[in-house]
Structure 1
Amino acid sequence: MAAKKKTTKKSGKKAPQKVAKAKPRRNWIAWAYGNESEEASSGTLHKVYYGLLALSVVTLLGLALVTGINADEKFQDDYSEKLVDYYASGGGDKAALYEDDTSSQRFNKFYGGFFELVSGSVNRMLGYHPGPSYHRVRHLLNALFGVLILVIIAGWSRRMAGVRAGILAIILMLASPRLLGHSVMNPKDIPFAAGYLMGAFYLYRCLLSMPRPRWQDALGFVLGAALATATRAGGILIFCYSGLFLGIDFLLRYGVKGIAGEFKQFLTYAAYWIGSTLAGFGLALLFWPYALQAPLEHTKEALDLFSNYAVRIIILFGGENMFSDGIPSSYPLVWLGISVALSVIAGFFLSLLTFPALVKKHGVIPVVLLLFVTIFPLAYIMFKESALYDGWRQLLFIYPTVLVLGALGFEYLAQRFTSRTKWAGPAIIGIVVLLSADALLFTARNPALAYVYFNPLAGGIKGAFGQYELDYWGLSSRQAVEWMEDEGILHPGMDTLTIGTTFPYNVRRQLDLSYKKKVKIQYIRYHRRFSESWDYGIFPSRFIRGPHLRNNTWPTSKTVHRIEANGVPLAVVEYDPDQFAMQAEALLKAGQAPQAIQRFQQEVAKYPDNEQGWNGLASAQVSIGDGDQALTSAEKALEIAPDNETALYLKGYAYLTKNNGPEALNTFNHLLQVDPENAMAYYWIGEIYKQRKELETAFNNFRKAIEYNPKLKQAYLGIATIFEEQGDMENASRYRNAAAQF
């Protein structure tokens, strides 16, 4: 009635103009947003929906109780404790700012601390210190963010396409072992993913009711964006998305001319965006001490850091060991393609194939928003060639919307065939379950290690073994410790013993406080695992080269227990009662090579599949000038562990002792194919070319050796010799002076 009265006050010329203007607006909005689909559905579907929802929540909480400690929790725990001290002291204890810390821990301050503050506070109140109970609390709290993700993907799918779509979304989540596995032990990526998803969902809800969004939806957006930003600075993306889509919404409703003609509404939109951004960002700052010191400057610093943050670690990808900052651009797509359930892949591509139909049914903006928040970050990361590692965990935040899109795709198919048969809906659900079976069974069989799942396209985890990283965070250390407890090796009345491991933090924090003081944890590099003395070794497959794993010579005969997933070894417990190799290493270090050879021979006689025993024997034989025997021992090591760097180096050096330069050169070049930054390989190649009087090539290789090891004295002396042969005594003296400093 109000609109009618307003029209009668206008002149006859203006009234038709108003009506003509309103009609296309209604059409544009209908085209843009369609209708939410709370379609009538049977009581059975509602029961299934809520039953699956409850089952999923129980599953997540159950997984949280059995999962192990991930290696990165070393950093998170430290930050958590410091954050509690910071807030408890009213900002007086500034350890959380890492002002004088030069270690890798200093990067903690660039992360928001919401999860760490909450988990640290709960543990402090319960009186728990880092250990099994402490991490159980952390994992249960982590699982709650997984529950939040679950509820939102189910609710988003249901609101857009009905209850059955919600059921499909839940099934797809249950068929996501990697998301489930991370949801219970990954305090960085999962809270961020939950905040990112929550912000995107409530942005969608706000857009539906613009220009007057419900306060509940506006609050949901602010809380979601704040959660994401209070975890990672990348949460700022949500505010950018908000500005973009609010702008599009305004143009759809009022057109470009509306900026001037509907300036009041334009200011309202601007106020919503600025207000929600300030509120969300301000809330996030409350949980981020470093950004609190200088909000804009330090937030930008964090964004810049993580945009160019190159964690440089060796990873296994496609059977090849490479540095994480040198991965191919296809890395994320390959990982997603081989480690996501077939049902999820099929659903996502179905949503792309049916995109026009989905747009027609649900509106352009809801569908485009889902695609945008999924694809844009992935495309940007691939375009920037950002360093990725540990699978696709840094991309977990885009995965929940993949599940929503998959649910929409399958639901569209179900509705398309419902007119032909009433069994279309159940049939589609059955197909999704069938495509999900492999993933569902994997989680059921390996609840503590769900995050190592690979789909049938990769040949399952068996096909991925030796090709891709499996338990890259060392979660299996928990099962190793628990086995030692079950066997009575670890118990309160035990004698002291030493455990050597490549994952010392995981093992140390898994030890029960009743016997913890009687156990010494020794960090051991796997390829130097006999350089220190230990009684038992806990070694996950991480840090073992792909060719060695594919050669089926690991686990070795020293193994007394294997931790497996679907029959594939993820970690081993080794027992070394004789310690021949350790004694031999000590003798060799003390210059007693003949005695070391005797001990190494005892080692390889008892454990012929121990490549380190053969390497040690080759090293000792080289030291006494026995090149022939050293060559034989190095070859034995390479039979067990192809492309083993130490064995290749010793093989090349053995050829040098036999004055076989061509074979030495071939071997060192092979070593550089395996390890392109091996300084000693470059050095010896330089020596070979120097002897051949190919001084320029020799010089270049010596320079490469120095590039990768600036303290390699021999390389400086090699260059000095070249300059002397060329009569350049000034530069020769400069390099000899540099060598004298090392």
Structure 2
Amino acid sequence: MAKKNRKPSPSPTNFKTYKINYKGQLTVVYPMLSGSDLGQFKKDWQAFKKAWPTTPELLLFNSLGDEAAASEWAKWAEEEGGDVRYLADKVAPSAIFAQAVKLAEGEDLLFADGSQGIALSNLLDWMDNREEALAANTIYLGSRKHAGAKKLEAKDGLLLSQLHNSYIQFWTPLYLQDSQAPFYFMSKALGQQLAQLTVSGQQTDLLLMAQLEGISIQEMPIRWRHAEQRDTGIGRIAQKAFAGLLARPKNKVKYFFLNPWTEASKALAKEPTIYRFLYAVSALLILFIMAGLSFQYGITGDEVLQKTYGDNVLAYFESDGKDRACMNQSNLHYYGGLFDYLAAWCNKHLGWFDTYDTRHLLNALFGFLAILFTARLGKVLSGRWSMALLTLVLLALSPRFFGHSMNNPKDIPFAMGYMMGIYYMIILTKQLPRPSSRAILMSALGLGITFSMRSGGILLIPYLGLFMGSRVVLCPQLRPALTQFKIGQLFRYAAILLSVSGLGYWMGTWYWPYAQEDIMNHPLESLSEMTNFSTGIRMLWGGKHLWSDQLPWYYIPTWLGISSPIVVLLGLPLVPFLFLKNAFRKKRAYYFNLVLFTGVFPVAYAVYKESSLYDGMRHFLFIYPILVLAAAYGWFNLIRMIKPAVVRYVAISGVVGLLALPTAWMFRSHPYQYVYFNEFFGGLEEAYGYYETDYWMTCMRNLSDWLIENEPKIKAGEEVIVATNCAKPVAHYFSDYPNVKVRYVRYHERVKTGYDYLLSYSRFVSHGFLQSETWPPAEVVHLEEVDGVPLGAVSKAPNGNKKGELAQKAFKEKRYAEGIALLEEVLVADPKNESAMLVLSQYYPQVGKMEEMKNVLTRMRNLANDYVNGLGMAGVYYLNAQQPDSARYYFERATTLNYKYSFGYFHLANLALKEEKDVNKALSIWVDFDQYGGQPAQGYQIAVQVAQQAKNRPYELYFRAKALATAGKHVDAYQLLGQAIAVDPNFEPALKAKKMYDDNSRRARDEEEMARKKGAK
């Protein structure tokens, strides 16, 4: 039982003596709110006034709804007189700040609200024994979460306030442990500046604008007690939160577009405020330009497949997993489906635009966000909007990144998630030991987006561990957690890392069907598959056609060097120079180094692992923003180092001039910005025939549109046959014209297909044919060009005939002479038609025309001495001419140019056996034949005989298994593989082939089991 007649505990101000060094005039601003206790405030005011070294002014603002209570306050103020001023007119709480700043006579302001249980004496504690005055450019904010804060009673009253504070932390960049305690001190001059800059006098909006404007906010400890009043109810807090949410956009608009022109903002800023305005205007312009231009870009090479995957992922989720088509689409189930799902959902449920236009619009938005996060990271690293502006412009005016942003559905969303994750992880690291809920949740979201595009996005987890761990080790304020083994602090750090990692990992599986079905094992399986991924694509590199697993270690560095704007390349060497000159502040250099590591490490790791790469810098687009950021940082700091204004302006003009080069090129190359090569390299003209240009066939959109507009038969409904080496995108472009028949044809086999028009692009065309202008083929009626370099062509059938197709029919019916005569007519009409030459070289022996075969092969080699199929046929000619050495020369040259040319290995193996009588060499070549395709399939029968002669039982059984597999007899093939392994348990070819069978069987069983479970549900 509680004791009666218990005397209240005396206030600390009743007995404590303060030593305060203050000679100015203070104005205390006190709003009379519901819950304000006049009796308690009288005691508080008297004690404070007695201890304060000068006479303070008190402004009482009437925000009471109770007239009787207001009357009591007015009466007391009148009795006090002097420096107590009662403002009778009712004032909304949000308007108090502006009026107080205007009416106050003191040079410093203390805003307090006793209804929240925070006594004025807290200011006495802050000033007690303080030698220096409180800084005039700082807001001192009372914090109930400060380590030195003290609660004067056991009752807890912070839960709702903490929830509100977490809400503020999430929806705004305001990072304070307690933004809700209404007790803060600032100079009147600072208050006047803030009053001009904010749209609302709400405390949160004031603090947010102060933080945006670079005003220091220092949280201070307070003594406080819980007070029942109107602001702690959940309804009132929700009302304040909603009002604050509405005020945030207004504050942002004011901060970026209006404040830069005010004297108050100019006085507070560390740099000209015009940079902030230009940053915001530039960002909006880039957003609208990218969104608007996205409708003009073509379908990319992988996009039809990705679109289908998105449709299947959507069907999977909308059928509760019963529709399992997304699990059986090549290896795409190993990729997260976020972007493709989002695009499919928009197309199905909104359907505002063409299917691919919708995808490209979303792609452009992801690209813009990647640019924006990179620019904001520049601001975080430098503290300057000029750095953010420079980063924004450098990345937006990087032609390849801009071009990919329009229609690259894999690499751009991945890059956006990567930059978002790094941006928020750097903020989280800077906020240790208590990062905001916003930093934690947005770091997890960045991780989730990255992981949901590729399993390699999990790399952000060790990055965060590196960021946090290095900060704890290097920061003197955080290091004691390690050196003194403070278990609570270490546990907090571990909890933060695990929270971001776990939440981000989970988010990454939301739109990933394969991961949904086994959230732990399937993503790890995907990561293993992606790590060992070795897609074989043959491409132009330095004038040679190389396979993606043949490329040198410097492939990515070279591509970055030849396809990045000069202004970026020149900015990068400035970074080590400026470090040597100590131009970077130590603390900023630390965070910059962390970010730089995230750009350098993936490239170094890929070089170390000898990863299979292709399509230029596409797979490393995600690190390109980091390189741009580094270049911008180099230019930014160099310009800041330059003291003479004239020299500084010359340097700025130089950067602008360098930026003008890619900008002009982007305008004249639209919509093919992604084929950019810089001026150091010599531009696109120098690259043509030596490096890939429009490898993603985006020119097909404009080629198709041109043909629709310029061939009257199409709109008239007459049949038009269009052949192309890019069938699926072209079929989509002609989908509104069913009279247009689209036929797929390999470019070098085009003579076999009859057509009215051929739409072709240059990928996979031999270097020699590009240099000899064999491509584009004859009777070109339209070219898509950039800088005079053809990217794609519309060609009419020579003389409008379809003799090549008729020749193929004749050959099938063994009317060889008739077919040859037709192809010879094709060559008369089109003397550089290498497709006709190759087919003629294959059929001349059928009629004994060996000299003609030799001549046509010579003509073809004169056009391109690197055309592998032509070299292979030359080998065949010399075999027939009984010249094995010459035959061997051409087959070896062909397999050197294309080490996967199994037709060459077929003949070289036979030559080794028959001419050289070397069984072991022949067996070795048959191994290569098998490894690189195994065509023609009859080669396996000969390989079996060679293995028998070499007395190599494992290979004999293996080759028999492969022969059966090519005939579709997989059960028998599997049994023979088992026998080969029984003979030699370490026999790698059989183990690998058997594993492929086992994996396929396991996947089939897993699919059946999953389908059964889904059906049962």
Q: Same fold (TM over 0.5)?
A: yes
In 2, Cα distance between the equivalents of 1:46 and 1:378? 33
Contact persistence 2:445–2:504 (CA under 8 A): yes
Contact persistence 2:713–2:719 (CA under 8 A): no
1:293 and 1:496, CA in 2 relative to 1: closer, same or farther beyond 3 A? Answer: same
In 1, Cα distance between the equivalents of 2:653 and 2:832? 48
1:407 and 1:732, CA in 2 relative to 1: closer, same or farther beyond 3 A? Answer: closer
SS at match of 1:520: strand
1:704 and 1:90, CA in 2 relative to 1: closer, same or farther beyond 3 A? Answer: closer
1:737 shift after superposition: 11
1:605 shift after superposition: 0.8
- Name the residue aligned to 1:168: 390
TM-score, normalised by the number of residues in structure 1: 0.88
- Name the residue aligned to 1:374: 599
- Name the residue aligned to 1:402: 627
In 2, Cα distance between the equivalents of 1:726 and 1:232? 46
Deviates more, 1:428-437 or 1:684-693: 684-693
1:667 and 1:318, CA in 2 relative to 1: closer, same or farther beyond 3 A? Answer: same
Match of 1:250 among 472, 489, 503: 472
- Name the residue aligned to 1:289: 513
Equivalent runs, 1:208-227 vs 2, <5 Å? 208-227=430-449
In 1, Cα distance between the equivalents of 2:633 and 2:294? 29
Deviates more, 1:348-357 or 1:267-276: 348-357
Per-residue CA deviation, residues 299-347 of structure 1 (Å, 9 max, x unaligned), is 1011111111111111111111111122111111111111111111111
Contact persistence 2:426–2:467 (CA under 8 A): no
- Name the residue aligned to 2:450: 228
In 2, Cα distance between the equivalents of 1:463 and 1:734? 48
Structure 2: runs of 5+ lacking an equivalent: 1-121, 130-146, 148-210, 215-268, 968-1017
1:490 and 1:117, CA in 2 relative to 1: closer, same or farther beyond 3 A? Answer: farther
Residue 56 (structure 1) aligned with residue 286 (structure 2): yes
1:212 and 1:578, CA in 2 relative to 1: closer, same or farther beyond 3 A? Answer: same
Per-residue CA deviation, residues 497-534 of structure 1 (Å, 9 max, x unaligned), is 222211112212222x431x222222211121222332
Per-residue CA deviation, residues 338-371 of structure 1 (Å, 9 max, x unaligned), is 1111111111221232235354255343111111
Deviates more, 1:732-741 or 1:401-410: 732-741
Match of 2:770 among 542, 549, 552: 549
In 2, Cα distance between the equivalents of 1:729 and 1:186? 49
Per-residue CA deviation, residues 385-421 of structure 1 (Å, 9 max, x unaligned), is 111111111111111121221111101111111x222
TM-score, normalised by the number of residues in structure 2: 0.65
In 1, Cα distance between the equivalents of 2:339 and 2:562? 30
Q: Name the one with the larger helix percent.
A: 1
Residue 607 (structure 1) aligned with residue 830 (structure 2): yes
Equivalent runs, 1:406-421 vs 2, <5 Å? 406-417=631-642, 419-421=643-645
Match of 1:123 among 302, 322, 347: 347
1:75 and 1:655, CA in 2 relative to 1: closer, same or farther beyond 3 A? Answer: same
1:358 and 1:635, CA in 2 relative to 1: closer, same or farther beyond 3 A? Answer: same
Match of 2:900 among 662, 669, 677: 677
- Name the residue aligned to 2:989: none
Per-residue CA deviation, residues 557-600 of structure 1 (Å, 9 max, x unaligned), is 23222111111011111221212222223222321111112111
- Name the residue aligned to 2:819: 596
Who wins on radius of gyration, i.e. which is larger? 2
In 2, Cα distance between the equivalents of 1:414 and 1:110? 46
Contact persistence 1:168–1:429 (CA under 8 A): no
In 2, Cα distance between the equivalents of 1:146 and 1:735? 50
Structure 2 counterpart of 1:317, which letter?
W
1:94 shift after superposition: 3.2
Contact persistence 2:902–2:929 (CA under 8 A): yes
SS at match of 1:584: helix
1:185 shift after superposition: 0.6
Residue 635 (structure 1) aligned with residue 858 (structure 2): yes
Match of 1:626 among 844, 849, 857: 849
In 1, Cα distance between the equivalents of 2:851 and 2:956? 36
SS at match of 1:570: strand
1:539 and 1:71, CA in 2 relative to 1: closer, same or farther beyond 3 A? Answer: same
In 2, Cα distance between the equivalents of 1:585 and 1:168? 60
Contact persistence 2:452–2:512 (CA under 8 A): yes
1:362 and 1:728, CA in 2 relative to 1: closer, same or farther beyond 3 A? Answer: closer
1:155 and 1:81, CA in 2 relative to 1: closer, same or farther beyond 3 A? Answer: same
Percentage of pairs with the same residue: 28
Residue 429 (structure 1) aligned with residue 659 (structure 2): no
In 2, Cα distance between the equivalents of 1:313 and 1:124? 33
Contact persistence 2:374–2:392 (CA under 8 A): yes
In 2, Cα distance between the equivalents of 1:469 and 1:728? 44
Structure 2 counterpart of 1:567, which letter?
G
SS at match of 1:69: coil
Per-residue CA deviation, residues 198-219 of structure 1 (Å, 9 max, x unaligned), is 1101111122221122232223
- Name the residue aligned to 1:46: 276
- Name the residue aligned to 2:732: 509
Contact persistence 2:714–2:740 (CA under 8 A): no
In 2, Cα distance between the equivalents of 1:285 and 1:297? 12
SS at match of 1:537: strand
Contact persistence 1:259–1:266 (CA under 8 A): no
In 1, Cα distance between the equivalents of 2:725 and 2:814? 28
1:283 shift after superposition: 2.1
1:619 and 1:44, CA in 2 relative to 1: closer, same or farther beyond 3 A? Answer: same
> Could you say which structure has the greater relative contact order, defined with CA pairs below 8 angstroms and 6 or more residues apart?
1
Residue 88 (structure 1) aligned with residue 318 (structure 2): yes
- Name the residue aligned to 1:11: none
1:676 shift after superposition: 2.0
Residue 486 (structure 1) aligned with residue 709 (structure 2): yes
1:716 shift after superposition: 4.8
1:709 shift after superposition: 4.6
Match of 2:758 among 518, 537, 550: 537
In 2, Cα distance between the equivalents of 1:698 and 1:239? 50
SS at match of 1:455: coil
Deviates more, 1:232-241 or 1:198-207: 232-241
1:593 and 1:373, CA in 2 relative to 1: closer, same or farther beyond 3 A? Answer: same
1:634 shift after superposition: 0.8
Deviates more, 1:108-117 or 1:369-378: 108-117
1:701 and 1:52, CA in 2 relative to 1: closer, same or farther beyond 3 A? Answer: same
Structure 2 counterpart of 1:376, which letter?
F
- Name the residue aligned to 1:69: 299
Per-residue CA deviation, residues 673-723 of structure 1 (Å, 9 max, x unaligned), is 222232332233344444435333445444543444546465456557768
In 1, Cα distance between the equivalents of 2:801 and 2:683? 38
Structure 2 counterpart of 1:55, which letter?
L
Match of 1:448 among 666, 671, 688: 671
SS at match of 1:538: strand
Match of 1:315 among 531, 535, 539: 539
Deviates more, 1:61-70 or 1:243-252: 243-252
In 2, Cα distance between the equivalents of 1:82 and 1:634? 48
1:491 and 1:726, CA in 2 relative to 1: closer, same or farther beyond 3 A? Answer: closer
Aligned length: 703
Structure 1: runs of 5+ lacking an equivalent: 9-21, 23-34
